Structure 1
Amino acid sequence: MPGPNFRFTHYDLKPQRAGTTIEVTLSAVNNVRLMNAANYQRFTERLDFKYVGGVARKSPIRLVIPENGHWHVIVDTEGHHGLAESSIKLIAVPAARSPQQQAS
């Protein structure tokens, strides 16, 4: 079955922890969509899917992973003229400090 009928760039983020920030840099206005593995599968099958994000009018855009799991980022042209050049950077969740570290 063919995928979506518009151009897109796919980034497989693999398993990530909730709270991890994703920074996406774009060369033009495009959609940036952060979705879990089940919704990415629905996206590729042209079914309704859910995501975090939307039209990115400025760059960079930052999105936060809402829950632990396998995540994907799609940069796509749906409703736009051309596919932006893009890059992605993961900003890890800061490690939780123990009560002894907070007291010092």
Structure 2
Amino acid sequence: MKFQYQSRHFNKGDLISVELDKQANVILLDSLNFSKFKNGGKYKYYGGLATYSPFKITIPSAGMWYVVIHLGGYSGTVKYKINVISD
């Protein structure tokens, strides 16, 4: 599975705004679920299919989070930019 991601520490209540040049899945994962995602297991996430841009997700708790962009198995690339609006 091909995907792109950025990881960083966020604070609870931060709002991330993801600008996309095409429709893609935008998911937010903690460290445990990112590991499950990479290994093809079942994982829990925030976000989903972004059919519009910018796509926004609120950070549920402080800590290390992974913002993952993927096309659900389809080929191609997505240009994206992540902006953080602190609470």
Q: Same fold (TM over 0.5)?
A: yes
In the alignment, what sits opposite 1:75? 69
In the alignment, what sits opposite 1:87? 81
Name stretches of at least 5 consecutive residues in structure 1 with no aligned partner: 94-104
Question: Per-residue CA shift, 1:43-90, capped at 9, x if unaligned?
Answer: 111111111011000000110001111101000010555321111011
In the alignment, what sits opposite 2:54? 60
Report the 3-state secondary structure (helix = DSSP H, G, I; strand = E; otherwise coil) of the residue aligned with 1:50: coil
In the alignment, is the contact (CA less than 8 A) between 1:29 and 1:80 conserved in 2?
no
**Sequence identity, in percent?**
30
Report the 3-state secondary structure (helix = DSSP H, G, I; strand = E; otherwise coil) of the residue aligned with 1:90: strand
Q: TM-score, normalised by structure 2?
A: 0.92
- 1:1-104 correspondence to structure 2 within 5 Å: 5=1, 7-13=2-8, 15-78=9-72, 80=74, 82-93=76-87
Report the Cα distance in structure 2 between the residues aligned to 1:86 and 1:8, rounded to whole angstroms.
12
Counterpart amino acid of residue 10 in structure 2: Q
In the alignment, is the contact (CA less than 8 A) between 1:30 and 1:80 conserved in 2?
no
Q: Please give the root-mean-square deviation of Cα atoms over the aligned residues, in Å.
A: 1.3
Report the Cα distance in structure 2 between the residues aligned to 1:29 and 1:66, rounded to whole angstroms.
24
Name stretches of at least 5 consecutive residues in structure 2 with no aligned partner: none
In the alignment, is the contact (CA less than 8 A) between 1:20 and 1:90 conserved in 2?
yes
Q: TM-score, normalised by structure 1?
A: 0.78
Question: Per-residue CA shift, 1:6-51, capped at 9, x if unaligned?
Answer: x2111112x2111000110000000000111111111111111111
